[in-house]
Amino acid sequence: MNKVSSNAIQAQGYYSVSAHWKAIFSRPARKVPLDAGFTCPNRDGTVSSGGCSFCNANGSGTGLHSAMSLTQQWDHWRERRRAVWGDVALVGYLQAFSNTHGPVSRLRGVLEELATIPDLDGLCLGTRPDCLDQEKIQLLADFPARELWLELGLQSSNPATLARVNRGHGSECFARSAEMAAGMGLKVLAHVMAGLPGETPADWDETVRFVNALPVAGIKFHNLFVAEHTPLANDYRAGLVQPPTLEDYAAWVGRSLSALRPDIVVHRLAADPAQGELVAPAWAGDKRAVHNAIMAEIRRGGIRQGVAWSVSA
Ligand code: SF4
């Protein structure tokens, strides 16, 4: 644990990405969404055509790729960020779908264009662990940015859960890719989801233990929510699935923070549904209330990240 993480944990209970980036950039940072127009192998038939059962077919994209180049998207969002936040560091975020899917030449083209943007201070790239090889990881590792994060979807370490939600890859695939990427110098971030169908709180605890044991440098916690036009929405309407309550979710996050390695940067405490997609639970649409509930849980329990973590756990 370094001084930055230790101070952040003392101040707010966990090592937040805002504290991390303030130390790196000497000022606050904001993300800039970038949509490079990639697809997902779990949707385009490479792995499956159904997608993960909880995933909206928009894949969290802005959809701007069809109208604007990446540089134009950057200019578009930068103006808005600067107007609201002033002189902040700007971190590009390739979020939509799987941004290493397809031939390596495609990824190379994207990174070459991004490398020409002078005020891009950092880059986060989201993908699936089964869309990576050594050549793609090396391309990423060579990208000239002060902060470079590879965001990999895991969701759960339980193979039965991954099969149930049609994830299309196993946890061993995540472990392999995380180890390869971290070994080549990338900061690896794991996406995990609480309340997946059929899971118990013990499964969630096990997923956090699984992440702790890998060379993972960051984590995003997500609560399961039901999005419109997904297989999960059909199951929810048929009464087969029930998303967690806010009270349960806040308690689970609190417990996970206690168990989480103290050097892992927490990039997100809860999911953030896109406008118009949320079916249930209603609380998932109230970002401030969710944040407040988690912070209240942290205060109530005197929670400090890593306090229940041990090397042998
Ligand atoms: S959650 Fe990610 S991996 Fe799953 S279908 Fe959606 S874009 Fe693909």
Q: Is 207 helix (H, G, I), strand (E, B) or coil?
A: helix
What is the rounded distance in angstroms from the CA atom of residue 293 to the CA atom of residue 249? 9
Burial class (CB in 10 A: 0-12, 13-18, 19+), 199: buried
For residue 153, report the distance from its CA to the centre of ligand 1, in Å: 8
Q: Is 153 in the pocket of ligand 1 (CB under 6 A)?
A: yes
The residues, any chain, with a CB within 8 Å of residue 282's CB and separated by 6 or more, are: none
Q: Kindly state the average pLDDT of the residues 262-280.
A: 96
pLDDT tens per residue across span 141-195:
999 999 999 999 999 999 999 999 999 999 999 999 999 999 999 999 999 999 9
**Domain spans, the chain:** 3-301
Query: What is the residue whose two structure tokens read 């942290």?
Result: 298
pLDDT for the residue numbered 60: 62
C-beta 55 within 6 A of ligand 1: yes
- Which CATH number describes the domain made up of 3-301? 3.20.20.70
The more confidently predicted of residues 1 and 281 is: 281
Beta strands in 17-70, from DSSP E residues, in sequence order: 29-34
pLDDT at 65: 80
pLDDT at residue 66 in the model: 77
Do 126 and 220 meet the contact criterion of CB atoms below 8 Å apart? no
Looking at the chain, the number of H-run helices and the number of E-run strands are: 11, 9
Q: Whose CA is nearest to atom 5 of ligand 1?
A: 51
Look over the chain and give the mean of its residue pLDDT values, rounded to a whole number.
Answer: 95
Q: Are strands 29-34 and 122-127 parallel, antiparallel or unpaired?
A: unpaired
Q: What are phi and psi of 151, to 5 degrees?
A: -95, 120
CA angle in degrees (0–180, nearest 5) for 82-63-61:
80
What integer pLDDT is reported at residue 214 of this predicted model?
98
Q: Averaged over 223-235, what is the pLDDT?
A: 97
pLDDT of residue 61: 66
Confidence band (pLDDT; 50, 70, 90) for 311? low
| Ligand 1 proximity of 227 Cβ (cutoff 6 Å) | no
Which pLDDT score, from 0 to 100, does residue 33 have? 95
In this predicted model, what pLDDT tens digit does every residue of 15-63 receive, in sequence order?
999 999 999 999 999 999 999 999 999 999 999 999 999 998 865 667 7
- The pick from 35, 39, 40 for probing ligand 1's pocket by mutation, whose C-beta has the most ligand atoms within 8 angstroms, reads 40
The average pLDDT across 249-259 equals 98
The per-residue pLDDT for 67 is: 86
Spatial separation of the C-alpha atoms in residues 174 and 153, rounded to whole Å: 8
Single-letter amino acid code for the residue at 106: R
Average pLDDT for 268-293: 96
